[in-house]
Amino acid sequence: MAQRYTEFAPLPDVAPIGAAWPTPNQNLFDAPDRFFAHTRVNPDYGRPGWTRNCGARFHRGCDIAPVQPIPTGQTAVVEFTNCETGEEYPSEEPVFLGNDPIFNVYAGVVEEAIANPRISDLGSHVVMRHRWPDGTTFYTLYAHLSEIAVSKGQRLAAGERIGTMGDTSRSEGARIWLSIAPHLHFEVWNHEGQPLDPVAFLETHLAR
Ligand SMILES: [Zn+2]
């Protein structure tokens, strides 16, 4: 069972590495509301940190929205929470699909390529192993994919395609949230597997 971290480890103090964007969505700096997945009542849904369940649950990744969410014409019922009263109420919301290609952010080796949509709450996912310029290992995670294009042990350059955005997860609740707010769940870990703030990582290390 993965450890339940409730804070980010500090980013290492290294010069920018020139990372690639994890998806075609490059709105992080200019239009962050189009970069992060959000729900109708939680604009912070896709951001990392204490953004879930009215600030009660730590989100160790960031959720990157598709460039063009595809409307399906269908709806799903989700339970929203009124953060002032703590009351939950059902709401019928439109369902979208995300179909964006997913890219490896930095040169590395495929540590895990799990093409099993129900294996965990991450669904089908890929973990990449990388090295900072000083040789220390770090990892990146790409979750909820619909399709995986790489296999374990494969060496990838920055910007190479890993797979396709999807809505896979073992958790039915997560699948419903993914259907109203489709996204790539992206994490960065240090050599011990402790999460780093993925947005701070992108802001610091993206090639610009
Ligand atoms: Zn997430």
Distance from residue 153's CA to the centre of ligand 1 (Å): 25
Structural domain of residue 141, as residue ranges?
Answer: 32-205
CA distance linking residue 103 with residue 127, whole number of Å: 12
What are the tens digits of pLDDT across the range 9-58? Answer: 999 999 999 999 999 999 999 999 999 999 999 999 999 999 999 999 99
Q: How far is the CA of 111 from the centre of ligand 1 (A)?
A: 20
**Percent of the chain scoring above 70 in pLDDT:** 99
Identify whether 4 is part of a domain: no
Task: Give distance in angstroms: CA of 76 to centre of ligand 1.
Answer: 19
Question: CB under 8 Å to 136, separation ≥6 — which residues?
Answer: 12, 190, 191
**pLDDT at residue 2 is higher than 80:** no
Question: What pLDDT shows up at residue 1?
Answer: 43
Q: Is residue 61 part of a domain?
A: yes
Residue 26 lies in a domain: no
What pLDDT, in 10s, does the model give residues 164-192?
Answer: 999 999 999 999 999 999 999 999 999 99
Residue 9 belongs to a domain: no
- Count of domains for the chain: 1
CA 36 – ligand 1 centroid, Å: 10
Mean pLDDT, to the nearest integer, of 96-110?
98
pTM of the model: 0.97
Domain with 90 in it: what CATH number?
2.70.70.10
Query: Is residue 39 assigned to a domain?
Result: yes
Q: For position 129, what pLDDT does the model report?
A: 98
In a domain, 6, yes or no: no
Coil/strand/helix, residue 179: helix
